[in-house]
């Protein structure tokens, strides 16, 4: 894949916390010919949803959040009272709240002005529900933004400070974050995308948000993602019962997959298969697959268009891992 230009990034395979394979491919900066390395920070798209869901379950364990509670119990000044009174925290975690997405003309027009979770609520908070909460599944980045706002309200910290202190640091994730795009970040790769109908790679700069949110848009490394997986499955982040609740599918989504709390559950009835989450946008793609039954972890990050990383993890899982897994 790398030799044909279909992959530029890094891949890591581990088992029971021990790396078995790790390698980087391609260029982090094509103009300056800087290669990708295992220390390269790649934008991870929606993979931040896993960190947000862990944070919510931590606060559930601490008695600060109830999954069955309505959004308005925590955001009592939320503009649309129908949304605030009907949508629960559990429904936001499972994309069944009917809260809609953030991407589209409004986002494009305000991309650089959307700097905090409150900014997103100011822009989208007056709109109504797309469907009755709990009636079906529909991917909602805005729902995950709302969870970030809830975390901020109940902890008194910024979302970024909370996940740094309670997710990244306990997991040993030293190269993961969400600093704004206008701040220099050591070893953060440049994303490259191919505009429709062309074969030319261009920077994805004009598509990026000002800053990542609780819904996605941060950056990480494959090593940090493997550390996150190990910390999660060894219960350094959540109790065993909360971890199982986090990763176990709740609602049908995306064909064969079930969606849990910020995690996709691809396991069969015998527990074989993976849990995790992917992420993708122009010039970025990532995927983390955790195999609870056999202890494998596969992480891939790319600084080119989807499905570069997800194709890599799918290939590894199909042809490298020892079945049944």
Among all residues, which ones are annotated catalytic? Answer: 46
CB-count burial class (<10 Å; 0-12, 13-18, 19+) for 256: exposed
Residues 164 and 19: their CA atoms lie apart, in Å, by 24
Task: Name residues whose C-beta falls within 8 Å of residue 207's C-beta, 6 or more positions apart in sequence.
Answer: 193, 281, 282, 283
Token code pair at residue 120: 């997103």
Residues 138 and 247: their CA atoms lie apart, in Å, by 18
C-alpha distance from residue 306 to each of 44, 278, 285, 290, 300 (Å): 11, 10, 5, 20, 12
CB-count burial class (<10 Å; 0-12, 13-18, 19+) for 136: middle
Task: Name residues whose C-beta falls within 8 Å of residue 225's C-beta, 6 or more positions apart in sequence.
Answer: 12, 44, 47, 286, 288, 297, 299, 301
C-alpha distance from residue 76 to each of 53, 60, 73 (Å): 21, 19, 6
């Amino acid at each position: 894949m790398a030799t044909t230009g279909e992959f530029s990034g890094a891949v890591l395979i581990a088992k029971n916390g021990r790396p078995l394979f790790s390698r980087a491919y391609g260029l982090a900066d094509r103009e300056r010919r800087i290669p990708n390395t295992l220390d390269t920070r790649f934008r991870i798209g929606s993979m931040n949803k896993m960190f947000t869901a862990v944070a919510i379950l931590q606060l559930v364990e601490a008695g600060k959040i109830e999954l069955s509670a309505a959004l308005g119990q925590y955001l009592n000044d939320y503009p649309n009272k129908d949304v605030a009174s009907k949508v629960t925290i559990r429904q936001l975690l499972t994309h069944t709240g009917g809260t809609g997405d953030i991407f589209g003309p409004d986002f494009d027009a305000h991309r650089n002005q959307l700097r905090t979770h409150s900014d997103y609520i100011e822009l989208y908070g007056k709109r109504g529900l797309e469907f009755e909460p709990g009636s079906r599944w529909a991917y909602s980045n805005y729902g995950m933004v709302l969870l970030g706002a809830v975390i901020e309200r109940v902890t008194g910290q910024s979302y970024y400070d909370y996940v740094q202190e309670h997710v990244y640091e306990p997991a040993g994730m030293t190269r993961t974050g969400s600093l704004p795009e206008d701040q220099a970040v050591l070893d953060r790769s440049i994303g490259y995308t191919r505009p429709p109908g062309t074969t030319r790679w261009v920077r994805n700069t004009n598509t990026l948000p000002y800053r990542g949110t609780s819904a996605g848009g941060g950056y990480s490394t494959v090593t940090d993602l493997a550390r996150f997986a190990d910390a999660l499955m060894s219960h350094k982040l959540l109790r065993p019962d909360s971890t199982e609740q986090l990763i176990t599918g709740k609602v049908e989504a995306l064909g064969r997959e079930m969606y849990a709390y910020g995690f996709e559950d691809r396991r069969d009835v015998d527990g074989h298969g993976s849990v995790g989450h992917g992420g993708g946008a122009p010039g970025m793609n990532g995927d983390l697959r955790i195999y609870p039954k056999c202890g494998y972890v596969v992480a891939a990050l790319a600084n080119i268009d989807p499905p570069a990383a997800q194709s890599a993890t799918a290939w590894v899982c199909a042809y490298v891992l020892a079945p049944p897994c």
